[in-house]
Amino acid sequence: MQIGVLTEQAPYERRVALTPESAGRLIAAGHSVHVQSGAGLAADEDDDAYRAAGAMIGKTPDEILGIVDLLTAVGQLDQQTASRLSPGTAVVGLASPKDGRGPAGVLVDRHATFFALELLPRITRAQSMDALSSQAMVAGYRAGLVAAERLPRFFPLLMTAAGTVPPAKVLVLGAGVAGLQAIATAKRLGAVVEAYDVRAAAAEEIRSLGAKFVSLDIESQTSTTGGYAREQAADAQARQRKALTPYVAAADAVITTAAVPGRPAPLLVTAEMVEKMRPGSVLVDLAADNPNGGNCELSRPGEDVRHGGVLIHGGRNVPSELAGHASRLYGANMSAFILAMCRDGVLLSTPEEIAADEIAAACCVLLKGEFR
């Protein structure tokens, strides 16, 4: 198969869909990889590294798009790129054309096939392809660092000749993949960490990292679908915010990572709650670039907002801030996915073949121009 990699077009996107390492894996399996010159530069991968891995370098997107059967992507394809796809090209990426954004109509016109990695089922066979988890892990790590960097106080306990500095208190709200990595990062930096998640199962994972589980006197979710939380009703959300208020007020740094797939991010911290935090405290909202707003009422994607004495940092494409490792993990997920979707070197392409494979059936949202 001829596989393509272009420079990502979405704003603030620094990642690349395949690194030389992951391209090499596909080449070793008998595929050819064509990379647009400079596609990996923002992720610290130059053309020579791709050449050394056996990939071919094309100067323009058209050079690549004219050849490939499968285009790998990270973010949303722009209209122009989508309109230049050869008829019948398959695309693998993280932005389903079914979500109402992006060039869905053009992809239909081009009879394209689209595999959306965010729809990957969380089954054992798919773990190596789990791009949502790898990118959430990067984001959680960054959130811990950003909180430490923005806080005008130490994270660790320090005993000095000038006196003892107590450790910072960090509160993590939402303890999925990103939240657990934020907990681990804040712990490594010496903070005292507590965390809360609406899923009851998260308590054990929080404790296993040496953090304290915040047990609220409200209902938690004991059963989940695919491990994901469900959206709560408005009255339950209000009870949750009320119960969280004293914990938010007591924290030096709050890191919010709560999400519900396909739904707006839950509002966990209101302006009123921020007003109860001490001056100099910080809040890092990883959900801030959600189109409907983040976990904190005051956060703005990519901005530091001051409210009273509190600094609120809104995340915006946070995995791209660590583009090198984010791309390395994403590329590993991407190459594992492509290899799993091939039979004798050819991509699954009939409705029957797609339906017979649990991963393909979950991820294939568009097949030869028809939405499934």
Question: What is the binding site for ligand NAD (CB under 6 A)?
Answer: 122, 127, 130, 132-133, 136, 173-179, 197-199, 202, 227-229, 232, 240, 257-261, 266, 268
Q: Pick from 91, 309, 372, 307: which is nearest to 102 by CA?
A: 91
Closest contact distance (angstroms) between CB of 288 and ligand NAD is 14
C-alpha separations of 215 from 52, 346, 372 in Å: 53, 51, 42
The smaller minimum CB distance to ligand NAD, of residues 136 and 322, is found at 136
Q: Are 259 and 176 in contact (CB under 8 A)?
A: yes
> What span, in angstroms and rounded, lies between the C-alpha atoms of 110 and 88?
6
With 0-12 CB in 10 A as exposed, 13-18 as middle and 19+ as buried, what is 259?
buried
Closest contact distance (angstroms) between CB of 223 and ligand NAD is 12
Q: Pick from 304, 286, 336, 368: which is nearest to 126 by CA?
A: 336
Non-local CB neighbours of 90 within 8 Å, separated by 6+ positions: 69, 70, 71, 112, 113, 114, 115, 347, 349
Catalytic residues: 122, 127, 130, 133, 228
> What span, in angstroms and rounded, lies between the C-alpha atoms of 279 and 358?
51
Q: Are 91 and 107 in contact (CB under 8 A)?
A: yes
The smaller minimum CB distance to ligand NAD, of residues 178 and 251, is found at 178
Residue nearest to ligand NAD (CB): 176
Closest contact distance (angstroms) between CB of 279 and ligand NAD is 26
Closest contact distance (angstroms) between CB of 41 and ligand NAD is 29
Closest contact distance (angstroms) between CB of 98 and ligand NAD is 18
The smaller minimum CB distance to ligand NAD, of residues 230 and 276, is found at 230
Token pair recorded at residue 109? 């016109």
> What span, in angstroms and rounded, lies between the C-alpha atoms of 352 and 329?
31
C-alpha separations of 303 from 225, 285, 286, 312, 317 in Å: 34, 10, 12, 8, 12
Handedness of CA 271, 275, 277, 278 (dihedral sign): positive
The smaller minimum CB distance to ligand NAD, of residues 103 and 174, is found at 174
Q: Pick from 202, 205, 239, 244: which is nearest to 219 by CA?
A: 239
Q: Are 85 and 70 in contact (CB under 8 A)?
A: no
Closest contact distance (angstroms) between CB of 238 and ligand NAD is 11
The smaller minimum CB distance to ligand NAD, of residues 24 and 174, is found at 174
Other CB atoms within a 10 A radius of the CB of residue 79 amount to 14
User: CA-CA-CA-CA torsion for 347, 94, 99, 133, nearest 10 degrees?
Assistant: 120
Closest contact distance (angstroms) between CB of 208 and ligand NAD is 12
The smaller minimum CB distance to ligand NAD, of residues 112 and 170, is found at 170
The smaller minimum CB distance to ligand NAD, of residues 35 and 318, is found at 318
